[in-house]
A and B are shown apart, each in its own frame.
Chain A
Amino acid sequence: MLEIKNLHATVAGKPILKGLDLAVRAGEVHAIMGPNGAGKSTLGNVIAGREGYEVTDGEILFKGRNMLELEPEERACEGVFLAFQYPVEIPGVNNTYFLRAALNAQRKYRGEPELDSMQFLKLVREKLKILHISDDLMHRAVNEGFSGGEKKRNEIFQMAVLEPALAILDETDSGLDIDALRLVAEGVNRQRSPERSMIVVTHYQRLLDHIVPDFVHVLADGRIVASGDADLARKLEEEGYAWLEDGGIQRLSTGSEARAGA
């Protein structure tokens, strides 16, 4: 589904990603962990095509297509979804209106018929039920006045409606208490499917207790320096990231096969 080869990227002129390789197959959930400043959020933004993030080398292939040729909205229509770490507020723009515009833009791109308000409302109600979210959400403006937890759940809800092929969850757990975390994780898990891939970017292991990944990668100094399975995450939790700097990569023992680059 997603192949990243030797990706180099700068943000405001400063090199952040320095030769990152990653391969994600359909249906897989990959976790990306790492110390601050390593480039975790940068990765998500680069894949989504945010302005200000410049790719200086390497390639990103999504479903075989070269993503670097596409505008951000085209990448979205191809099926890339980024759940933001800090979802922005858009006052005065109704949530329902916004989501319907987004869904229809994507459907139009794919040559599918657009949904009218009735059809859309029906779809929305189904999804709200599955995720146990109150429909009060639909009457409010996008993220306006939402608590941190509500914003994160709104991201997951949008994901449920847009049904992306690749979902990148950027520190979805930041700022959430235990209960909110559980709700968000549940929402994410319900959307796991053989046709969908996920990249879960997180700082802490605890999210991965709820969203159990197939693979875990450690991103440090702009590259993936270690890969393993869920056990790797637990090891990081115990020992922290500092050991990586001492060339501790050699000390890695993952127990099962790990895969970083293709």
Chain B
Amino acid sequence: MSETTLPSGSSVDHFVQQKYKHGFVTDIEAEGLPPGLDEGVVRWISARKQEPEWLLEWRLEAFRQWQQMDQPNWAHLKIDPIDFQAISYFSAPKSDKDRPQSLDDVDPKLLETYDKLGVPLHERARLAGVAVDAVFDSVSVGTTFRKDLAKAGVIFCSFSDAVKEHPELVRKYLGTVVPARDNFFAALNSAVFSDGSFVFIPKGVRCPMELSTYFRINAAETGQFERTLIVCEDAGYVSYLEGCTAPMRDENQLHAAVVELVALEDAEIKYSTVQNWYPGDENGKGGIYNFVTKRGDCRGDRSKISWTQVETGSAITWKYPSCVLRGERSVGEFYSVALTNNMQQADTGTKMIHIGRDTRSKIISKGISAGRGQQSYRGLVRVAKGAANARNFTQCDSMLIGKRCGAHTFPYIEVGNPTAKVEHEATTSRIGEDQLFYCLQRGISEEDAVSMIVDGFCKAVFRELPMEFAVEAKALLEVSLEGAVG
């Protein structure tokens, strides 16, 4: 373990020093760090993971940048100011004796939700946080899975493991798509990130199966500050699934993840997300704040990156999965369904930056607002001066359910090259009383009618999801819309 000299005077390092002095590192493991963020905390996190010097320096540099930055407030969101010193940057994983010992100990309402969402039985225990010893299935499934991947030469492991086992790869690509100084939350994440996924697809390899966070066994801690890096070499292909439909609670309200994707020549990365973080109660209290920076770099010619997401959770969502279309003839795609109900707020969208020649981008965004939800689509299509023959198609549709919700669209189109073709279509519709009555008059129940209409609305996006995710996503929307009408 490397030597760590802690700057004196910081509130945390005094605490940390004491513990190290007496060798009671495990106490923090058991209790977590006290709230507060300073350089000492960053060093502690890095030291705990036994990270190499270069990574510690990278974190510290990010932290210094973060200290110079202000939290952005231009989003169309109503947020109470966040006190970054009141948050703990490391929570201890729950000890087994504090966990439910079996499904019988779990809140029956939660189990009911799993039922409605069709969560497989063997997954419910793990998702509900039942003491790990009780769950053997995940271990055995994971082992066969990893054997197949090893045969193909695919690297898929936790970010922390990647730092230990493939440091040269991590170092080569980390921060090259989302540098720390990119934005306030990216800087914060870069300083204090906990863990995440690392995927590396070697040249010409088509990953034999969909990779999902479920199979990343070391996911004991919740994803407060997740960091994910996916690199696909020439002619490689990977489809990655993030998240799950099961409602996820977290003691930590603030989530600031960073996801970087790198696609080299002729490579393709498909990244799908289904997210259902706890949205808070009907009055909006206690939900998760989800501030995510996701970006894909189509570095190589003819590379392709597509983002597909279904977002129904969180109290506040702020994310713009984007593509930088550097390579000639590279392609970027964004398909999204975002649902805001009760008091949820979302300011989301995408950025497609056309740099190379003959690049194409496609954006299909479907926003559904219900209850008092407020949703904004914010999209940027930028065509650089040298990006000859760029093509973009954007379709952003909003559906309003009920009379008290809102949908807003902020499209930004910046074209610096006269040969570009940029198309933008936007529609807003209300689930009309007309449409509902039409269904009722044919004998279809109100609940089924709303599902049917919403599903029709989202079809273009659901089509892009890997099949099992699509089925789950539909179920998720239905459950999330319960009671939204009338």
A-side residues, CB < 8 A to B, are: 48-52, 71-73, 76-77, 81-82, 84, 87-94, 97-99, 101-103, 105-106, 109, 141-142, 158, 162
Residue B71 at the A interface, CB < 8 A?
Answer: no
On whether the beta carbons of A73 and B452 are closer than 8 Å, the reply is no
Residues in chain B near residue A87, CB distance under 8 A? 438
On whether the beta carbons of A162 and B453 are closer than 8 Å, the reply is no
- Give 8 nearest A-B pairs by CB, closest first: A92-B456, A102-B442, A93-B456, A76-B443, A72-B440, A106-B443, A88-B434, A105-B443
Residue B446 at the A interface, CB < 8 A?
Answer: yes
On whether the beta carbons of A88 and B438 are closer than 8 Å, the reply is yes
Residues in chain A near residue B442, CB distance under 8 A? 76, 98-99, 102, 105, 158, 162
11 extra interface residue pairs, beta carbon distance < 8 Å, beyond A98-B439, A98-B442: A72-B437, A72-B440, A73-B440, A77-B443, A90-B438, A90-B439, A90-B452, A92-B460, A99-B442, A101-B444, A105-B443
Residues in chain B near residue A158, CB distance under 8 A? 442
Residues in chain A near residue B453, CB distance under 8 A? 90, 92-93
Give Cα distance in the complex from A101 to B433, angstroms.
19
Q: Mark B426-445, 1 if CB is under 8 A from A, else 0.
A: 00000011110111111111
A158's nearest neighbour on chain B, judged by CB, is: B442
On whether the beta carbons of A105 and B438 are closer than 8 Å, the reply is no
On whether the beta carbons of B443 and A73 are closer than 8 Å, the reply is yes
A86's nearest neighbour on chain B, judged by CB, is: B434
Residue B459 at the A interface, CB < 8 A?
Answer: yes
CB distance from B100 to the nearest CB of A (A): 38
Of the candidates A81, A91, A106, the one having the most CB atoms from chain B within 10 angstroms of its own CB is A91
With beta carbons under 8 angstroms apart, the residue of A81, A92, A94, A109 that contacts B457 is A92
CB distance from B62 to the nearest CB of A (A): 44
Give Cα distance in the complex from A170 to B282, angstroms.
41
Of the candidates A90, A91, A158, the one having the most CB atoms from chain B within 10 angstroms of its own CB is A90
CB distance from A150 to the nearest CB of B (A): 16
Chosen A-B contacts, 8 in total, with CB atoms closer than 8 Å, are A73-B444, A73-B445, A76-B443, A90-B438, A91-B456, A99-B442, A102-B444, A106-B443
Give Cα distance in the complex from A90 to B440, angstroms.
13
On whether the beta carbons of A109 and B443 are closer than 8 Å, the reply is yes
Residues in chain B near residue A91, CB distance under 8 A? 456-457
CB distance from B97 to the nearest CB of A (A): 48
Give Cα distance in the complex from A240 to B470, angstroms.
58
With beta carbons under 8 angstroms apart, the residue of A48, A76, A77, A90 that contacts B456 is A90
Residue B210 at the A interface, CB < 8 A?
Answer: no
A161's nearest neighbour on chain B, judged by CB, is: B442
A48's nearest neighbour on chain B, judged by CB, is: B441
On whether the beta carbons of A101 and B448 are closer than 8 Å, the reply is yes
CB distance from A158 to the nearest CB of B (A): 7
On whether the beta carbons of A88 and B448 are closer than 8 Å, the reply is no
With beta carbons under 8 angstroms apart, the residue of A51, A52, A162 that contacts B443 is A162
Give Cα distance in the complex from A81 to B433, angstroms.
18
Give Cα distance in the complex from A94 to B459, angstroms.
11
Give Cα distance in the complex from A189 to B453, angstroms.
32
Residue B455 at the A interface, CB < 8 A?
Answer: yes
Give Cα distance in the complex from A99 to B443, angstroms.
10
